[in-house]
Structure 1
Amino acid sequence: MTRMRNAVHPTVLRGAVAGACLIALVGCGSGSGGADAAGGSDEAALALSEQPTVDDVPKLAIQDMPAFPIEKYLPAVGDDARIAAASGEFIRVCMARFGYAYKVPAINQGTLDSQENGANRVRRYGVSGATFADTYGYHLPQAGAQPAPGAEAQPMSETENKIFIGDQDPANGAEAGAKVAGKVIPPGGCSGEAQRKLGIKQRQRMAEKINNVSFARSQENPQVKKALNAWSKCMERSGHPYKSPLEPLNDIQGESAKPAEIATASADVACKDSVNLAGTWFAIESSIQEELISRNEEVLVADAKMFDSLVRRASAKIDKAG
């Protein structure tokens, strides 16, 4: 694997959670996982007693979807960005000891301040909001934005790779205690050293698992299936034969929306609102989350405390470096 000089190693990065989530987040290692740490299995911790039925489904426009119950426990994008920035600074210092320059990825203040999270309400059920659809279609506002000159990442050399990842990756050929320029590569390379200095430990990540599972299980729910079928029929009547609101996202082409895409997205939002898809889906998924949160609350609280402590350490590092 070719790594980039201004990239944070995968052991410091974690993918964003789930179904509709498109946001890249920074996390704390893979972890052997939530329920196991609590003495149970993920299968038991994330199993539903039964598919819920919601009798009093709220009327809800897709653009007005409120927060999901699990969002109380999901890391914010801004907090993950702070961890990435702090980790990158430790990596930079470590790489410099071996005579290599490492450029810490730039993170703008808007990202650091962002309270968005893996629930990704803006895209969880596909395009949301008539104004958004009429302007961007299925594209995101930043789609097509060009990086600043000189911002492109440069591939690492073989030696830099060894220093960066160390003995975490056997393919690098850097065994424990290996040296470069007479200096011992730290365990796990500079990325491993960064994790230790920042205090990154394995996280249970139960919140992310619940976020994923609730989205997947909700699509199996009879009420949601009925609402999705009604949406699909509405779209077909409008000349857009889709079975799921997520399908059109696979058809995005080009850097900006063409008139045909905007027409489809506008019909999509109108059909969602006409069949109350957001109200039904949100009610069912929230019910699923509430059951899983209740079963795993102790793990969720412990995980959140661990992460909050990590964010404070990362913020202190950023402030000191600044």
Structure 2
Amino acid sequence: MRYVKNIFTTACAAVTLLALSSCAASGDIPDRAPQGSAPTGKAQRPPHGGNAQSSVAVEANPLPLPVQKYLLTPSKMSGIRSATTILVNACLRQRNVPPIDQTSAASQQSHPDPYEVGRRYGPIVKADMLTYGYHLPPSWFGGTAAHRKRISAQQEAALSGPSGCAAVARRELMGDRSLDSPVARQISSKSFVESLKDPKVKAVTADWSACMAKKGHSYTDPLQALSKADLKPPKPSATELRIAAADYACKESTDLISTWQNVEIKIQEKEIAKHLSVLEKANAQRAQIMAEADTIVDERG
């Protein structure tokens, strides 16, 4: 089975335009799940005393995975994005190039996932699955294209390259530091891969598959259902909506998500304990960058 970057890609999307992070491959979910995935069955107390914020948009709230504390996640990017846009626009003005529209830039970074675990095990929000099937709902895109201003060719040229404004802004804000934690991404990837071999996950996946078969759909696991969906059309077909509805019902009745994620939590906790000093060091470095970004926004925003 091949694995790809999708979970961390969500966080990387927040910095791609301004080249803040290398966003190396983390291999967090199977190749057969091209859009990523991540729900959780029943609301529970978050591990490590975390604060589980409820969301009216989520039918079955996912638990925050322990490794999320050490990953570059969307909620950690708000100040970074704002500060970087300020620095980029200062550079563009110096080169007599129109600045980037800050509202447009921010709108492209929306990620309505309060637990920031993507769609790791397939979609789970009932309302979204019944309306959009396996397609990503519009809320994931931060508004429609009509409300976004595209970067002009002049702006793109000024942003690009080692001496471009994106690189200038990155150097000014980050120097030789990194927002990323490769060890955290490796843990996130490893826990998912190892969870697939766990007897509890195999059993609950088999239960889900049997449930789907009773509803007339043949899939070995939720990720296969997601990967086989035709996501090329802008809207889901009636067939896709029926399958997605059955998928949600079977995830709920078998308690697949919480079972699967609890297995991952245990794996991650062991790995975090092994690499705690490295992870804490990376977190401290990121916190320093974020504090400096906040200062830029306060003083120059």
Unaligned residue ranges in structure 1 (runs of 5+) = 1-15, 34-41, 43-57, 169-187
Check conservation: 2:135, 2:236, Cα contact below 8 A: yes
Structure 2 letter corresponding to 1:209:
Q
Any residues of structure 2 matched to 1:1-322 within 5 Å, and which?
18-19=6-7, 22=10, 24-26=13-15, 28-30=20-22, 60=42, 63-106=60-103, 107-108=105-106, 116=114, 118-120=116-118, 123-142=119-138, 146-148=144-146, 151-156=149-154, 161=157, 163-166=158-161, 168=162, 188-200=163-175, 201-202=177-178, 203-250=180-227, 251=229, 252-322=231-301
Please report how far the alpha carbon of residue 297 of structure 1 lies from its aligned counterpart in structure 2 after TM superposition.
0.7
**What RMSD over aligned residues (CA atoms) do the two structures have, in Å?**
3.6
Given that residues 59 and 279 in structure 1 are in contact (C-alpha distance below 8 angstroms), is that contact kept between their aligned partners in structure 2?
yes
CA distance in 1, matches of 2:23, 2:109: 26
Once the two structures are superposed, residues 138-182 of structure 1 have per-residue CA deviations (whole angstroms, 9 ceiling, x without a partner) of 23331685223561232348xx63x5344x3xxxxxxxxxxxxxx
Normalising to structure 2: TM-score of the pair? 0.71
The question of whether the paired residues in 2 share the 8 Å contact of 1:130 and 1:269 is answered with yes
Query: Partner amino acid for 1:97?
Result: Q
Return the alpha-carbon distance in structure 1 between the equivalents of residues 41 and 164 of structure 2: 53
CA separation of 1:21/1:191 partners in 2, compared to 1, >3 Å: closer, same or farther?
A: closer
Counterparts of 1:228 and 1:217, CA distance in 2: 14
- For residues 97 and 85 of structure 1, do their structure 2 counterparts lie closer, same or farther at Cα, with a shift above 3 Å needed? same
Separation in 1, partners of 2:93, 2:173: 18
Structure 1 letter corresponding to 2:217: H
Displacement after TM superposition at 1:73 (Å): 2.3
Please tell me whether the aligned partners of residues 32 and 204 of structure 1 are also in contact (alpha carbons under 8 angstroms). no
The alpha-carbon deviation at position 291 of structure 1 amounts to 1.0
Distance 1:29 1:146, change over 3 A: closer
CA separation of 1:239 and 1:280: change in aligned 2, threshold 3 A:
same
Give the TM-score normalised by structure 1. Answer: 0.67
Partners of 2:8 and 2:23 within 8 A in 1: no
Deviates more, 1:134-143 or 1:16-25: 16-25
The CA deviation at 1:313 is 1.6
Q: In 1, Cα distance between the equivalents of 2:115 and 2:170?
A: 22
> Is the CA contact 2:79–2:290 (under 8 Å) kept in the aligned structure 1?
yes
Structure 2: which 5+ residue stretches go unaligned?
27-39, 44-58
Q: Is the 8 A contact 2:209 2:220 kept in 1?
A: yes
Q: Aligned residues, how many? A: 259
Q: Tell me, what secondary structure is at the counterpart of 2:222?
A: coil
Deviation of 1:283 (Å): 1.6
